[in-house]
Amino acid sequence: MNNKIKTFLLLAGLTVFLVFIGNLLGGRTGMYIAFIIALAMNFFSYWFSDKIVLRMYSAQEVSPGEAPDLHRMVEELSRAANIPKPKVYIIPNDNPNAFATGRNPEHGAVAVTTGILRLLTPTELKGVLAHEMGHIKNRDILIQTVAATLAGAIMIMADMAKWSLFLGGGRDDEEGGGALGIIGVIALAILAPLAAMLIQMAISRSREYIADETGAKLAQNPESLARALEKLAYGVQKAPMQANPATEPLFIVNPLAGGGVMSWFSTHPPIEERVARLRAMRSY
């Protein structure tokens, strides 16, 4: 299935799931509460999430005089993507990584760590920056923010379900009958956050594939991004970042260096699959 269609269906699924939980907990009133929670969280995230995440990682904006090569690459790629030039930030961290943020292309920003600047060649770094430019061009930051806030709202509603056990909550009989019951509430409290997490993870993985493809086209060199991803996969294992798991989807590779079973729950596709897809693009 096309990744763009998959993203739309997954976001729609999250929204329907949120409304379903609200309806299950409190009928029509619960649905309204769920919508209000989602709207409030989305509003806050839309306007402030970029500032929060940049501050969280002590990112420092750099001028063209301070990082001329970095700015030159960003300038070239932004012209190729036909978007305004994003602000450029450097994060003082040995973990080789990068991310893009900003609520739209007009307010975009790219941030790279000192670790990635040391590890990659200029050609490989341009491939990484092209991937991040792809996120900005495709408005992935907004999409992932909406997915994260919807998932967060679902988790809040699931927590409310637990409280309903103590407060005697449930649907009014006239709205469709009976309370959830103890077993139903326990099941909802456990399964709803898990389902929301899995859907959010699927959305994030779909957007990573799209950004890889867009970035390879912008840089006109799929191999540069493929080589960069291989190096980054090794580099983050040697220097894992003390990162907030909530911000993990922003980075080009998982900064937490999770392996084994935990990789099944990663918001990033397997590096091997991403590299294979990029190298397959060379035949077109």
Return the structure tokens found at 65.
């005089």
**Cα 211 vs. chain centroid, distance in angstroms?**
12
Which tens digits make up the pLDDT trace of 251-260? 999 887 655 4
132 a catalytic residue: yes
Mean pLDDT, residues 77-96: 97
What would the pLDDT profile of 98-157 be if each residue is shown by its tens digit?
A: 999 987 899 999 999 999 999 999 999 999 999 999 999 998 877 776 776 677 667 776
Tokens of 212: 């890889």
93-108 per-position pLDDT tens digit: 999 999 999 878 999 9
Residue 17 structure tokens: 């799931």
Q: Where are the alpha helices (DSSP H) in 82-181?
A: 114-119, 122-137, 140-167
Q: Which of 132, 208, 213, 248 is catalytic?
A: 132
Q: Which residue has the tokens 């790629």?
A: 77
The C-alpha atoms of residue 33 and residue 108 are separated, in whole angstroms, by 32
